Amino acid sequence: MKVAILTPTFSKFSGPDRVVLNEATELAAAGNKVTILTFKTDFDVQQLQKQWISVEAIGMPKSPMLERVYRLLFFTDILKVNKIVERLRQFDEAISFLYPMTLPAMLAKKRYKEKLRYVYYDVGVAYPQLFDNILEKTYMKIFAAFTRMTVKNADAAISISKFLSSELKKETGIDSTIKYVRIDTKRFNKNTAAKYKKKAVAVAKRYRLTKPVLLYVGRISPHKGVHLLLDAFKIIKKKMPAATLVVVGKHTFPKYSGQLQKMASEIGGVVFAGFVADEELPAYYGACDAYVTCSMWEGFDIPIVEANAVGKPAVAFNIGSHPEVLKKGTLVAAGNVQEFAAAVIKLLIK
């Protein structure tokens, strides 16, 4: 079977795109011919071709701001939308992740009807109210509305958690199959700490980490609550002055990142490690004593699952998919940094 997977970006730093890679790998291993259609990618395309996965990058503006505007208003680029729709005629199934790639999938389904099966892969859209300013909130509201409009004629839907499945049903009336995200258990398991011990020591030396070490992995975005994590860490530092916090992730909101840097400099003991390649992450989990996240919305939360698989406990807010995916650690009331800090301290002194 010829399968097209549509995703706005196919990037190593994106959680949803790791789900894309999982799905593509699984389908190719089952004997399907898989093509990933995307605006841009930073993956090694030649390496993926060895796994019988082809990638077609169709291009978009390079400026981060223009890129976001283009994605939202993609329907105005009639020529490119139609080009993708025409391309989908060559496939048996189109699996679409996120708007605006749901748009050509929807149109192709209408045009080719019985020939093409359209599957919506639901990785969720964060709540607009969790973003900083009116422009961000408005952007996310429109994004969510366009998503709902363009998935209604899907033949099937897959959600990566019960939480998202419930949200999708509530917002669109669509029933979805639940398929949890697979992590690489060859790298993230009970033997990880021992296997990556030397690399973990190197990470500790590089950043001059002092114990206890707390770790966060994810995008540096307002809805991820990194500012709340810093507020909680400030409280933790009063009880544990030597504690250090390592924040791993790509900065995608410059103004927000600037605010975080200022907060961190006042607290001390905070390391912004930036983007860390996936193959290097086991060493970071190995170097930490606990995983921490104050994210206010999660459709799945891969890092919590990876941390738990390594044997590291996690502290997180009781939101979204966290009750489903957190197996070792503590959930606290959403937004309560005092309770969060207390839970971290209690966990560390056991």
**Do 324 and 209 fall into the same domain?**
yes
Q: Which long-range contacts (CB under 8 A, 24 or more apart) does 24-32 make?
A: 24/48, 24/53, 25/51, 25/53, 27/3, 28/52, 28/53, 32/1, 32/2, 32/3
Instruction: Tell me the C-alpha distance between 109 and 117, whole Å.
Output: 7
pLDDT given at position 9 = 93
**Do 103 and 250 fall into the same domain?**
no
In this prediction, residues 183-191 reach a mean pLDDT of 92
**Do 130 and 31 fall into the same domain?**
yes
Helix (H, G, I), strand (E, B) or coil at 194: helix
Output the CA torsion 246→249→255→261 (10° steps): 10
Over residues 37-47, the pLDDT tens digits come to 999 999 889 98
In this prediction, residues 12-34 reach a mean pLDDT of 93
**Do 153 and 232 fall into the same domain?**
no
pLDDT at 132 over 80: no
Per residue, what are the HEC states of 254-274?
Answer: HHHHHHHHHHHHHHCCEEEEE
Instruction: Tell me the C-alpha distance between 154 and 150, whole Å.
Output: 8
**Do 144 and 198 fall into the same domain?**
no
pLDDT given at position 278 = 85
Tally of structural domains, the chain = 2
Output the CA torsion 276→5→19→9 (10° steps): 30
Over residues 257-311, the pLDDT tens digits come to 999 999 999 999 999 999 998 889 999 999 999 999 999 999 999 999 999 999 9
CATH number at residue 174: 3.40.50.2000
Rg over alpha carbons for the chain, rounded to the nearest Å, is: 21
| Domain residue limits at 277 | 192-348
**Do 170 and 21 fall into the same domain?**
yes
What pTM was computed for the model? 0.93
Degrees to nearest 5, angle at CA 324 with 323 and 330: 40
Q: Which helix (H) or strand (E) holds 9?
A: strand 2-10
In this prediction, residues 32-61 reach a mean pLDDT of 93
**Do 97 and 237 fall into the same domain?**
no
Interstrand relation of 33-41 and 2-10 (parallel, antiparallel or unpaired) = parallel
Q: Which of 245, 344, 239, 228 is nearest to 288 (CA)?
A: 245
